[in-house]
Structure 1
Amino acid sequence: MSQSILKMEQIVKSFGAVNVLKGVDFDLAKGEVHALVGGNGAGKSTLMKIMTGVYTKDSGKIIIKGEEKEIKSTNDAKENGIAMIFQEMSLVPSLTIAENIFLGYELKKHGMRDVKLMKQETEKVLKRLGLDLDPGTPVSELSVGLCQMVEIAKAVSKNASILVFDEPSAALSDSETEFLFKMIRQLKEGGVSMVYISHRMNEILEICDRVTVIRDGKKVITEKVENLTMEEIVAQMMGNEAKETKFEYVPREYDCNAEDLLTVKHLKINDKIDDINFSIKPGQILGLAGLMGAGRTEIMETLFGLRKAVSGSIELEGKKVEIKSPSDAVACGFALVPEDRRKEGLVLSHTIKENAILPISAQLVKNGIFNDDKAAHDIVEKNIQDLGVVADNMNQEIRLLSGGNQQKIVIAKWLNSNPKIFMFDEPTAGVDIVAKGEIISIIREFADKGGAVIFASSELAEMMAICDDIITIFDGKITGRIGRKELMKEEELQHAIQRK
């Protein structure tokens, strides 16, 4: 391993009474891709936010190229060649690629923005990264994957020598992920050092040189990836108190002869997604499996009133219902954990408590005044205890929680509304392996109590672990329905979702 370009020594950070980092060491070599992994709340994101100037350390040292540095702001980090590629992108959709790349650093000529020169410089950066894009294209016209690439181009344009990737592949297709890896290898060859945060162990084994595991605010191990297996990394993350991940299929019992709780007939959402037919019984977990863009999200959003159906019918317990808005859906007993929890599932500036009681807040208000704080406190306290939420207290802003704990609050707020049909769209995206197991357990428990679940995930292993039946969707059409007991291995489901 080449000489360290960056060292973090005995980094300590607390938020109030909570000691998040307890003397963590981390080093990064020139031209290295270094994985940083750990469970939700382990401290990995906090460590990286200290490196990138979002947070300031309480104590410890940051040494860059042999010199101790004080990084007290994101500008300090940029001056030291450090940039973070966030999971939630920071691009401005209404601006062009070139305008985004030079945002805040506009090139000028005679006191005016030099649009032509910015386009030329952007084109050089894009070509360097192998991106065939027009610098004048508005970011709003780009796919999620291409937006991610533009984020990287923006950092590279500032001559960043250290890049931090936070769950970079969470929203990417397989082909986009392959292109991302190609770009990372290219940057590595150019001497750029990278920290790679991901919950996807297969990616870490493929793209990273070393891995550092953080658990409970402390560094557990740093080792070459080639010397570790996936199982060994997971074991280090979870420690001696490892919880069962619940990823194995557990045959479930529900009344197959019961009246259908939900029946969808000939649902047409648009010209592509048409003639959708399925039913689900109380206590059943039904999977929607398909490639990205197949129509899984659109079906759930239509059932939740976020999209308007062109035609078809929705029946609850044998009676036709009209769902024209999310309010209609909630009144009928639907709940939805959306694909993007931060944009669609939470109010990030609000507290845990405020988010958790959002769907039932009307019940706690009298004459326009919130007058039942004790009831709200008791409900949220039970949510935190039942779902194992790790937080300082219920009045903590939810944006400060880890991804897995945020997701638990999204689930908790809908459990508080006592739904009949709970829909989950990619519920474990950006969540560590322990929290994944906990979320799967929560879903099973809901179904065991008689609720119906519709579950969509790109992780086929999760579909295999949790679903009783799986509907396969290809290009907006249902292509089959498979009983879980009929599936012997994941490859069979993989082939099924790729057949017309």
Structure 2
Amino acid sequence: MASSNGSPILEIKDVTKVFGSVSALKGMQLRVMPGRVHTILGENGAGKSTLMKILAGVYQPTSGSIRLGGEPYAPAGPQDATKAGLTIVFQELSLCNNLTVAENILATREPSRYGFINDKALIREAAELVAELKLPVSVTDKVGDLSIAQRQLVEIAKGLSIKAKVVILDEPTSSLSDNEAEILFDIISRLKAQGVAIIYVSHRMEEIMRLSDDITVVRDGSYITTRDKTGTTIEELIALMVGRDMNEIYPPRDVPAPSADQKAALSVQGLSRPGEFDNISFDVRGGEILGFFGLIGSGRSEVMNTLFGMRQPSAGTISIDGKKIAIRSPVEAIDRRIGFVTENRKEEGLVLAHSVETNISMVALKDFADGFGFLKRRRERQAATAEVGRLAIKTASLETVTGSLSGGNQQKIVLAKWLLTRPRILILDEPTRGVDVGAKFEIYKIIRQLAAEGTAILLVSSELPEVIGMSDRVVVMSEGRMTAIAAPDQMTPEKIMSFATGFLS
């Protein structure tokens, strides 16, 4: 293992975790130094989440030892972990949508007066933290009214409201665009300066190389190696993580992009919705990948929700194959062969308590019914099995409860669900959020394959390299308006970011 001067604030030796006959962790090792960012890197299913839950007191290790601040560390639950000086911000949000930002940040630790919650003190303390962290939210807003990116920032504030020796950040930028991520990076720099140790879990390689001091690679539940950031490369880390070389993250096109004179599969003209977006116009052709990029509040997801019938526009037209249509509900969108991989898989994309098979087949159930309305279970199972193999979904069986899988595998199940409907137009809103680089490559190949088969694809992403690497053209939005449709010769990070900030138009 790589070493640093001084004593580690957190040390893990030979930690193993067994669930029944499955070993989720095998001989895990980790030395985390104060005032440094230590990244844990591995594919989905590599054991990262299990290790984080052990540190947070959610799980207890089967064997091995952990020391925090030089003392034995064996939390019986999350509260024990917090008291010992360790806090964790999980990738999956744990907020209550019906409570305010302030109530969520200080939940279970509300200031009181005469045995009652002191609302003024609650708002004041939360507002001071939000101001200190420079977060673009109001503490009196209901969390349910916030965007996914804003909720992620609130989740981070909630974790950082507890003064800790060790802060664990699990995919903290998965739903943040570059501007919001910069807010977090500034927070991390300040924590480091205070001597706080940061354990960072992320799949974004450029981000990892920017922030990390030390990088530990895990694979299949086992410790592989720890490297100093300055002594390694992205290519080397990817090879260590996936056990193979990956020469290209974004697979090339097998067939040329459709020509400009080809008829549009989907045409949008002057689409507007008060307070969300205004005068949105674009065409996407069969076989084209049209990217959408913008910062928080740009209106990208709201446009996609409207195209799928989840919201109704106040003005504008939507046409498929040149024919104007009205999409009044998601059912009508599905009937017109529009698929939608939502950015919020937990609340909108999946039924977490149901099986993998049920989630994959739920939208396409009518395709597995006979003439009398009875379900053909064998056909349903065969189709679900094919999609599990196609997307390399890691699951013990089709009966596995979806909520028990990693975030990346859950995201692939959402994608599988829509692929089963054979969509003609496919909306992908943050399709690789929380997905490791190996799984991303598999999803990118599927997207390329769908485009080659003639599917018109709308790709919304907060990852600028992903938008540029996968799109044929990019629609750039800022504060609810389109600022550009970037052609290939304009698709540079500098130009697209300038369009997104309204600097160029």
The question of a shared fold, defined as TM-score above 0.5 by the shorter chain, is answered with yes
Deviation of 1:495 after TM superposition, in Å, equals: 4.1
CA contact (8 A) 1:247 1:461 kept: no
1:163 aligns with 2:176: no
User: In 2, distance between residues paired with 1:373 and 1:218?
Assistant: 38
Equivalent position of 1:187 in the other structure = 191
Deviations 1:208-239, CA, capped at 9 Å, x for gaps: 22111111211111122222233332232222
What letter corresponds to residue 339 of structure 2 in structure 1? A
Equivalent position of 1:349 in the other structure = 353
Equivalent position of 1:38 in the other structure = 42
Equivalent position of 1:83 in the other structure = 87
1:252 aligns with 2:251: no
Pair 324,121 (structure 1): closer, same or farther in 2 beyond 3 Å? closer
Once the two structures are superposed, the pairs formed by residues 317-336 of structure 1 within 5 Å of their partners are 317-336=321-340
- Structure 2 residue aligned with 1:403, among 400, 407, 416? 407
1:223 aligns with 2:227: yes
What letter corresponds to residue 245 of structure 2 in structure 1? A
User: In 2, distance between residues paired with 1:450 and 1:296?
Assistant: 23
What letter corresponds to residue 250 of structure 2 in structure 1? F
CA contact (8 A) 1:252 1:468 kept: no
Deviation of 1:389 after TM superposition, in Å, equals: 1.1
Q: Secondary structure at the match of 1:359?
A: coil
What letter corresponds to residue 462 of structure 1 in structure 2? E
- Structure 1 residue aligned with 2:389, among 385, 390, 395? 385
User: In 1, distance between residues paired with 2:123 and 2:296?
Assistant: 32
Equivalent position of 1:13 in the other structure = 17
Q: Secondary structure at the match of 1:261?
A: strand
What letter corresponds to residue 24 of structure 2 in structure 1? V
Once the two structures are superposed, the pairs formed by residues 2-401 of structure 1 within 5 Å of their partners are 2-116=6-120, 118=122, 122=126, 139=143, 147-148=151-152, 150-239=154-243, 241-247=244-250, 249-250=252-253, 252-253=255-256, 256=259, 258-270=262-274, 273-364=277-368, 371-401=375-405
CA contact (8 A) 1:213 1:222 kept: yes
User: In 1, distance between residues paired with 2:134 and 2:499?
Assistant: 34
User: In 2, distance between residues paired with 1:84 and 1:404?
Assistant: 19
Q: Secondary structure at the match of 1:274?
A: strand
Pair 452,104 (structure 1): closer, same or farther in 2 beyond 3 Å? same
Pair 369,81 (structure 1): closer, same or farther in 2 beyond 3 Å? farther
Deviations 1:130-164, CA, capped at 9 Å, x for gaps: 77988666555767666555544544544332211
Deviation of 1:384 after TM superposition, in Å, equals: 0.8
Does 95-104 or 431-440 show the bigger shift? 95-104
User: In 2, distance between residues paired with 1:43 and 1:476?
Assistant: 40
CA contact (8 A) 2:134 2:183 kept: no
TM-score, length-normalised on structure 2?
0.88
What letter corresponds to residue 307 of structure 2 in structure 1? L
Between the two proteins, the alignment pairs up a number of residues equal to: 498
What root-mean-square deviation, in Å, do the aligned CA atoms of Structure 1 and Structure 2 show?
A: 3.0
Q: Secondary structure at the match of 2:264?
A: coil
CA contact (8 A) 2:15 2:27 kept: yes
Deviation of 1:424 after TM superposition, in Å, equals: 0.8
Does 375-384 or 468-477 show the bigger shift? 468-477
Equivalent position of 1:419 in the other structure = 423
Deviation of 1:378 after TM superposition, in Å, equals: 0.9
Q: Secondary structure at the match of 1:275?
A: strand
User: In 1, distance between residues paired with 2:418 and 2:136?
Assistant: 43
User: In 2, distance between residues paired with 1:169 and 1:13?
Assistant: 28
What letter corresponds to residue 187 of structure 1 in structure 2? L
TM-score, length-normalised on structure 1?
0.89
What letter corresponds to residue 283 of structure 1 in structure 2? G
What letter corresponds to residue 194 of structure 1 in structure 2? I
Pair 332,72 (structure 1): closer, same or farther in 2 beyond 3 Å? same
Stretches of structure 2 that go unaligned for 5 or more consecutive residues are none
CA contact (8 A) 1:420 1:452 kept: yes
Deviations 1:295-326, CA, capped at 9 Å, x for gaps: 32222211110110112222222322220000
User: In 2, distance between residues paired with 1:185 and 1:52?
Assistant: 23
Deviation of 1:370 after TM superposition, in Å, equals: 6.4
User: In 2, distance between residues paired with 1:357 and 1:270?
Assistant: 36
User: In 2, distance between residues paired with 1:55 and 1:26?
Assistant: 17
Q: Secondary structure at the match of 1:430?
A: coil
User: In 2, distance between residues paired with 1:324 and 1:425?
Assistant: 20
Pair 218,117 (structure 1): closer, same or farther in 2 beyond 3 Å? same
Pair 310,10 (structure 1): closer, same or farther in 2 beyond 3 Å? same
What letter corresponds to residue 346 of structure 1 in structure 2? L
User: In 2, distance between residues paired with 1:464 and 1:12?
Assistant: 41
Q: Secondary structure at the match of 2:335?
A: helix
Pair 189,282 (structure 1): closer, same or farther in 2 beyond 3 Å? closer
User: In 2, distance between residues paired with 1:295 and 1:97?
Assistant: 22
User: In 1, distance between residues paired with 2:475 and 2:138?
Assistant: 39
What letter corresponds to residue 343 of structure 2 in structure 1? E
- Structure 1 residue aligned with 2:448, among 444, 450, 455? 444
CA contact (8 A) 2:337 2:423 kept: yes
Pair 422,137 (structure 1): closer, same or farther in 2 beyond 3 Å? closer
User: In 2, distance between residues paired with 1:282 and 1:181?
Assistant: 39
Overall identity of the aligned pairs, in %: 37
What letter corresponds to residue 241 of structure 2 in structure 1? M
CA contact (8 A) 2:426 2:458 kept: yes
